[in-house]
Every structure is written in C-alpha cells, then in structure tokens.
Amino acid sequence: MKSFLFGTLAVAGSLVLTNSAQAQKWADLEFTVVLDGKAPEPKLIDANSKDKCNADPKGVVLEDLVVNPANNGIANLVFTIDTRKTKLKPADIHPDLRAVPTSKAVLDNVKCQFIPHVMAVRVGQTIEVKNSDSVPHNAKFSFFENEEKNPVIPAGTSVDIATKSEEKAATKVDCNIHPWMSAYVLVYDHPYVGISDANGKIKIEKLPAGVPIDFKLWHENQDKSIEELTIGGKKETWKRGSTQMTLKEGKNDLGVIKISVDRFKK
C-alpha cells in the first residue's frame, strides 16, 4: 500500500484539508471487498404467507449480511470519510459535488423489502419513501440529529422526509408492519460515501488528492468494528475501522480487500 502513502492513525486532533498554494487536484478511489471464509446460509422469510407482498415464492432474503457466491463480494458495506478526524471545507469538495442534490433520494418498498438496503443522502436533501407494493407499509426513521419520523405509506403512494443535520451514525429504518424489513440511511454533509454493490465493488470519485484523509469502514452486521483486513496479501489493522490515506491524483485502485468472516456477527 506504499503507493497510496498510508499514514498512521496516531494523529492528534482533527485534520483540516487546505491547499492554498496551488489548485487542488482530485482522485478516484476504488476497491472490491470480499469475505474471507465461508459465508453463512441466507436467511429466508415467507413474506407471502404473512401478507400479500407478491414476494419471491422462495422467500425474502434477509439482508444483514449479503455475500455474492460468485466472488464472495460483500454488499452494503460503507466506506466514507471519518469526519471526526478529517474536517472538510467547501473548497475541499470538488466543484461538481458541492451543491446539495435537488433531486430526491428514493427509498422504495418493493415485494416487502426496502430498496436500496443502504443509502446515502446529503444534509438538506429530501428522502422520498415510496410504496410500490399493493399493501401498506410504514417507515420508522430512528434519527438522532434529525426529527424522528414514522409515517404510514399506503400502497402506491409516497412520503417525503426532510434532512437538516448530519447524522453521526447510520440511521436504521424499520417497517413495524413487516418486522423483517429494514434499511439504513447515512446523512452526511459531504458527498464522499461509497457503498459496496452486489459484487463488493466500491468507488468514490473526485476526492481531494495529495492531502491526508481519514476513512472508516462500517457494516450493519460487524462485530464491534472491522479492524483486521488483508490488502494485497498483507494484513493491516484499522483501529476502530479507521485508516488514513493520501491519495495520488487520478485513479487509486486498492484491489481486493479481504475481511474475515469472524468480524461479523453470527
């Protein structure tokens, strides 16, 4: 990992990104995160027997740990800037990404599952909770910094949820009508959030290059924090799931990051 100039974690205080001497350069960061070990068998819920959700007859798969059998890629893992340690000024955000999106971030109810399971929004962005099912749902947002909400969404309708403050942790969203349903919403005042796709791939574009940035890993099913990883065949320790990197301008590909199955709850 020397090419990415990994720094130490023992940095006192918060880091402020500045680059007044020259124009800020930008970097793209990507990697694939995979499970090191045997993935647990998927857990299934017979949603159709409990409600007419038009769900898969084989059952609704619980999404607390989704692993792709083709490559052991871990879905729904979050990699983002650790804002407790790295403070971003507006100039540290790429001009294309500074404005809060005016489009709504959509959280849908489809066949008795929230889609997507994990999503990120900017402070000030509206979340539209849709119900594409033929049965009613509710969406309980257990916010800490924003106002808690628990609207009922009749079939074929939607409800808007406002965000006004950054959340320090992922917010869980539950449907009390269908208790197996859950999702997580990340509310940040910056755009640099990567969520792994079905293959475990994460990509974050237009990050500040040439300056130290603290990042953190999070997954809903982690056992405490994810601290032990294998990158390029070498084991690394990320204290409390956090590490510091200085990215080079352009593409930064970390390759495959392996996380032991022991880092997740059984």
Q: Per residue in 146-169, pLDDT tens?
A: 999 999 999 999 999 999 999 999
Write the single-letter amino acid at 147.
E
pLDDT for res 22: 66
Residue 96 backbone phi and psi in degrees, to 5: -70, -15
Element holding 118 (H helix, E strand): strand 118-122
Q: Do 1-37+73-93+194-266 and 40-71+99-189 come out as alike in CATH topology?
A: yes
**What is the chain's Cα-based Rg?**
19
Q: Per CATH, which fold does 40-71+99-189 belong to?
A: Immunoglobulin-like (2.60.40)
| pLDDT, tens digit (0-9, with 9 covering 90-100), for 163-176 | 999 999 999 999 99
The mean pLDDT value for 28-34 works out to: 98
CA dist 178 → 67, 112, 113 (Å): 23, 7, 9
Query: H-type helices in 29-153, by residue range?
Result: 47-50
pLDDT value of residue 8: 34
CA distance 226 to 241: 5
Report the distance separating Cα 60 and Cα 238, nearest Å.
34
Per-residue pLDDT at 150: 98
How does 87-109 read in b/e, with b if 16+ C-beta sit within 10 Å? ebeeebbbeebeeeeeebbebbb
Mind listing the pLDDT tens digit for each residue in 40-90? 999 998 888 777 787 888 889 999 999 999 999 999 999 999 999 999 999
Please check the confidence at residue 131 and state whether its pLDDT lies above 60: yes
* pTM (2 d.p.): 0.90
**Can you identify the CATH homologous superfamily of domain 1-37+73-93+194-266?**
Immunoglobulins (2.60.40.10)
| Number of residues in the chain | 266
Q: Residue 163's pLDDT is what?
A: 98
Locate tokens 């594409």: which residue? 132
Domain boundaries, the chain: 1-37+73-93+194-266, 40-71+99-189
